[in-house]
């Protein structure tokens, strides 16, 4: 017997309050955790959430970290609203990074303006293509996209591993699996001297605006949502649920691919085996915590970046174990999903018999 029953009218206020409650509970349990590690919770929160914002370098690092998370989450949210669950943004990011690196490697030394735009476009196409494969599998064979997108991430990892070990390996790199370092024409320009934040952040800003307008104004966005949530209704209304699948997966692949290009043409500066610290997976949490809303995602992306950076800062300043980062991310999603469950459902208070009686009365 299920313990929960759906609420007839889930509160709109509570839907938006849920992430705040989740953040509050995460901080509360986090405080207990710090306390048990004999670290003052206030000092720990200061190191996690305030210290990084006290220097220009801290802001630069925060934006640099949040940017790919926000960009990927925008694409994912579009699909999630339509109940198309792309779990494989990590793989799409890697393929985007691979395609962008291909442009940089084959044009190495060419000091021309088109190298960087070419990398971004190649990254977008690569990511979109990696998203299109599960779309095709779903529309033709009804293959579950949660599985196919995730499995294609492993394929992307192996593809990357082969490329950096064999054809694209740096000949002067001591046989280590990584490409040459890219030259300046293949890198985003730094915005400020001495800080790592670069012009790729404008792509993310543009993406946020485009998605915001697209989601709130466009009929296609409405069709995508309906097509995913109620295929029969969509069909009746003349919308195509196939179109929903294709658009959701291709667009989320595209944003992840651009994020991949932004990493290799940004702070990493070469193609390496370990270029993403799991941005594709973290972006799933970012999308949910941001309520699948383009502006909400901006806030949750910044929060997630803070947790990443704070985890390292906690190690540097307080000698906290590195597992804290993962614990914070996990708690945040856990409490959010828990809060969401209670927004949409409530505990059954009466025995089913009484309910049936009431329903038939």
Partner 1 sequence: MPSFLHASLVKAQVKVIRLAASAAVLSALAVGASAAEPVKAAFVYIGPTGDHGWTYAHDVGRKKAEEELGGKVKTTFVENVPETADAERVIRDLAAKGNKAIFATSFGYMNAMEKVAKSFPKVAFMHATGYKTAKNFGTYDVRTYEGAYMLGVVAGKMSKSGKLGVVGSFPIPEVIRNIDAFTIGARSINPKATTKVIWVSTWFDPGKEREAALTLISQGADVLMQNTDSPAVVQAAEEKGVYAFGWDSDMTKFGAKAQLAASVLHWDVIYKPQLEAVAAGTWKPSQIWAGVKDGAVNIENFGTSTPADVKKLAEERRDAIKAGKLHPFTGPLKDNTGKEIVAAGKTATDAELGKWNVYVEGVEGTIPK
Q: Which stretch binds partner 1 (CB under 8 A): 18-26, 86-94, 103-111, 236-244?
A: 18-26
Q: Which is nearer to partner 1, 130 or 182 (CB)?
A: 182
Stretch that binds partner 1, among 207-215, 221-229, 232-240, 269-277 (CB under 8 A): 269-277
Among the listed residues 14, 17, 27, 143, the single contact to partner 1 using CB under 8 A: 27
Q: How many CB atoms lie within 10 A of CB 330?
A: 13
Angle at 50 between CA 48 and CA 56, to 5 degrees: 110
Does position 43 interact with partner 1 (CB under 8 A)? The reply is yes
Residues 124, 83, 4: CA angle, nearest 5 degrees: 145
Minimum CB separation of residue 268 from partner 1 in Å reads 5
Contact in structure between 223 and 244 (CB atoms under 8 Å): yes
Cα–Cα distance, 300 to 71 (Å, whole number): 12
CA distance 210 to 206: 6
Number of residues that bind partner 1 (CB under 8 A): 49
With binding defined as CB under 8 A, does residue 274 bind partner 1?
Answer: yes
Long-range contacts of 296-299, Cβ-Cβ distance < 8 Å, separation of 24 or more: 296/19, 297/70, 297/73, 297/74, 297/77, 297/208, 298/70, 298/208
Instruction: Tell me whether residue 138 or residue 291 sits nearer to partner 1 (CB atom).
Output: 291
* CB closer to partner 1 out of 198 and 244: 198
Is residue 91 involved in binding partner 1 (CB under 8 A)?
no
Nearest to 224 by CA among 213, 234, 238, 209: 234
Is 161 a binding residue for partner 1 by CB under 8 A? The answer is yes
Bridge partners of 4, per DSSP, are 347
**Does residue 275 touch partner 1 according to CB under 8 A?**
yes
191 interacts with partner 1 by CB under 8 A: no
165, 183, 220, 240: residue in contact with partner 1 (rule CB under 8 A): 165
The reply to whether 273 sits near partner 1 by the rule CB under 8 A is yes
Among 37, 110, 159, 181, binds partner 1 (CB under 8 A): 181
H-helix or E-strand spanning residue 6: strand 4-6
- What is the length of the chain? 361
| Using rule CB under 8 A, residue 272 touches partner 1 | yes
Residue 9 CB partners (closer than 8 Å, separation 6+): none
| Closest CB 262 distance from partner 1, rounded Å | 10
SS3 39: coil
Q: Answer for the pair 271, 98: CB distance below 8 angstroms, yes or no.
A: yes
Instruction: Return the H-helix or E-strand segment holding 345.
Output: strand 345-347
Q: Given the complex with partner 1, which of 37 and 132 has the nearer CB atom? A: 37
* Residue 196 interacts with partner 1 (CB under 8 A): yes or no: yes
Q: Report DSSP state, residue 350.
A: S
Task: Please select the residue that binds partner 1; options are 5, 15, 57, 191, rule is CB under 8 A.
Answer: 57
Using rule CB under 8 A, residue 5 touches partner 1 = no
State the nearest-atom distance from the C-beta of 93 to partner 1, in Å. 12
Q: Are 260 and 271 in contact (CB under 8 A)?
A: no
Among 5, 46, 151, 230, interactor with partner 1 by CB under 8 A: 46
What is the contact surface with partner 1 in residues (CB under 8 A)? 20, 23-24, 27-28, 42-43, 45-46, 49-50, 55, 57, 61, 64, 161, 165-166, 174-178, 181, 194, 196, 263, 266-270, 272-277, 308-309, 312-313, 315-317, 319, 321-323
């Amino acid at each position: 017997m299920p313990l929960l029953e759906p609420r007839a009218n889930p509160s709109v206020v509570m839907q938006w309050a849920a992430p705040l409650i989740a953040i509050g509970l995460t901080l509360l349990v986090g405080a207990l955790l710090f306390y048990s590690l004999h670290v003052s919770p206030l000092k720990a929160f200061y190191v996690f959430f305030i210290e990084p914002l006290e220097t220009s370098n801290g802001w630069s690092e925060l934006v640099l970290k949040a940017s790919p998370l926000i960009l990927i989450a925008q694409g994912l949210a579009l699909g999630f609203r339509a109940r198309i669950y792309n779990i494989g943004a990590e793989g799409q990011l890697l393929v985007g990074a691979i395609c962008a690196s291909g442009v940089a490697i084959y044009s190495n030394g060419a000091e021309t303006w088109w190298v960087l735009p070419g990398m971004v476009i190649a990254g977008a196409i690569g990511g979109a293509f990696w998203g299109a494969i599960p779309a095709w599998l779903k529309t033709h064979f009804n293959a579950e996209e949660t599985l196919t997108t995730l499995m294609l991430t492993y394929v992307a990892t192996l593809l990357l591993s082969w490329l950096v070990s064999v054809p694209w390996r740096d000949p002067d790199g001591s046989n280590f699996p990584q490409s040459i370092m890219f030259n300046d024409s293949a890198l985003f320009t730094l915005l400020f001297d001495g800080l790592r934040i670069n012009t790729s952040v404008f792509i993310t800003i543009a993406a946020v605006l485009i998605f915001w307008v697209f989601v709130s104004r466009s009929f296609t966005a409405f069709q995508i949502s309906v097509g995913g949530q109620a295929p029969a209704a969509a069909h009746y209304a003349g919308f195509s649920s196939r179109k929903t699948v294709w658009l959701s997966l291709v667009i989320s692949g595209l944003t992840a691919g651009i994020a991949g290009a932004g990493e290799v043409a940004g702070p990493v500066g070469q193609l390496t085996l370990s270029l993403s610290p799991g941005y594709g997976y973290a972006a799933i949490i970012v999308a949910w915590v941001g309520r699948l809303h383009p502006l909400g995602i901006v806030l949750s992306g910044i929060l997630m970046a803070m947790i990443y950076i704070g985890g390292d800062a906690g190690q540097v300043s307080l000698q906290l174990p590195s597992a804290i980062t993962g614990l914070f991310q996990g708690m945040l999603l856990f409490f959010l999903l828990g809060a969401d469950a209670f927004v949409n459902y409530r505990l059954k208070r009466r025995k089913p018999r009484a309910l049936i009686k009431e329903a038939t009365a």
